[in-house]
């Protein structure tokens, strides 16, 4: 197990390095001048050159990338700016604030949105899929299949806007979604994110319902499940102890990918509901051509996906004894 984790960790580091390098060098293919953005609307040539020098943009591209990469591990000195301790992701070109602190400030919003939605769509998706598999061909199964198809077809920006209109603006049943720290008021934290959780869960629940149903139907026809039934085990024991265990493997696979993607930033959801998370932050970085901020958000998003993929691979060996990690 330890050699496998070591190999995957090294592979993840190489993957993140490649993603960071590609993002960094593609950024300079954009015609916008980040030095001019940092200097302001009225910027004489001498001040523009000074801003370019202070930001390190007068150095070769490879030297800039190496300096940025080294700052993550050992920190970095900036002219006319405070020392940036490790892990240093640089200072924003636009507001001159540390990128790492900005990401940490936005992270609780995205994590709260992800955790709440993940709990909802995982529980409801798997439960609906199991019930549909056990009632295969019956009306309940058909209703679940149609509902999952509709859920997978709608888009977040459509159903989110519709939910805002019906429950917030028109019906005034709920307040406009907002984020309040969990440590300050857990009830306000949950009520402020309840509508985004439900909307985000509708999309993902459909995928988990279909995946759980199809995998559960396949597992119920396996020889070891029929053997367990022949030995006189109850239906609940057969489903929960044998069939469900085999169903968890593909579910965990897509759950790991979805969780990593959402941690990286639910861009459409955050934009629809006006939540200031990592998704909105990444859009802001692209709009402002803010390279340090863009690099930081891309690295966090890629790191989350890679990390949860490693966790999923490790969990395989514990969930399914037939899987062996070499």
Tens digits of residue pLDDT in 269-314 = 888 898 999 989 988 888 888 888 989 998 998 888 888 888 888 8
Q: What is the predicted pLDDT for the residue at 265?
A: 65
- Tell me the mean pLDDT in the region 52-61: 79
Distances 288 to 39, 44, 89, 258 between C-alpha atoms, Å: 13, 20, 17, 28
- Tell me the mean pLDDT in the region 25-41: 72
Q: Whole-prediction pTM value? A: 0.84
In this structure, the number of other CB atoms found within 10 A of the CB of residue 150 comes to 11
């Amino acid at each position: 197990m330890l050699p496998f984790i070591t190999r995957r960790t090294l592979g993840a580091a190489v993957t993140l390095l490649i993603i960071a390098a590609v993002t960094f060098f593609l950024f300079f293919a954009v015609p916008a001048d980040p030095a001019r953005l940092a200097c302001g609307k009225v910027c004489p040539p001498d001040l523009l050159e000074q801003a370019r020098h202070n930001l390190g943009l007068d150095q070769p591209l490879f030297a800039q990338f190496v300096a940025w990469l080294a700052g993550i591990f050992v920190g970095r000195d900036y002219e006319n700016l405070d020392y940036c301790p490790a892990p240093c992701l640089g200072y924003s070109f636009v507001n001159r604030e540390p990128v790492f602190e900005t990401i940490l400030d936005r992270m609780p919003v995205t994590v709260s949105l992800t955790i709440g939605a993940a709990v909802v769509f995982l529980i409801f998706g798997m439960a609906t899929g199991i019930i549909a598999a056990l009632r295969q061909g019956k009306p309940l199964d058909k209703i679940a299949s149609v509902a999952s198809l509709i859920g997978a077809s709608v888009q977040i920006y459509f159903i989110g806007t519709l939910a805002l209109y019906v429950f917030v603006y028109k019906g005034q049943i709920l307040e406009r979604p907002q984020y309040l720290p969990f440590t300050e008021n857990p009830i306000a934290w949950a009520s402020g994110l309840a509508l985004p959780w439900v909307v985000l869960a509708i999309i993902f629940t459909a995928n988990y319902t279909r995946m759980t149903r199809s995998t559960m139907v396949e597992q119920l026809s396996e020889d070891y499940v029929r053997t367990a039934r022949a030995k006189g085990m109850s239906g609940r024991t057969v489903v929960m102890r044998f069939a469900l265990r085999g169903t968890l493997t593909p579910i965990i696979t897509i759950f790991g990918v979805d969780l990593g993607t959402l941690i990286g930033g639910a861009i459409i959801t955050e934009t629809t509901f006006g939540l200031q998370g990592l998704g909105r932050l990444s859009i802001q970085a692209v709009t402002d051509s803010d390279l340090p901020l863009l690099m930081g958000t891309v690295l966090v998003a890629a790191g989350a996906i890679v990390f949860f993929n490693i966790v999923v691979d490790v969990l395989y060996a514990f969930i399914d004894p037939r899987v062996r990690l070499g």
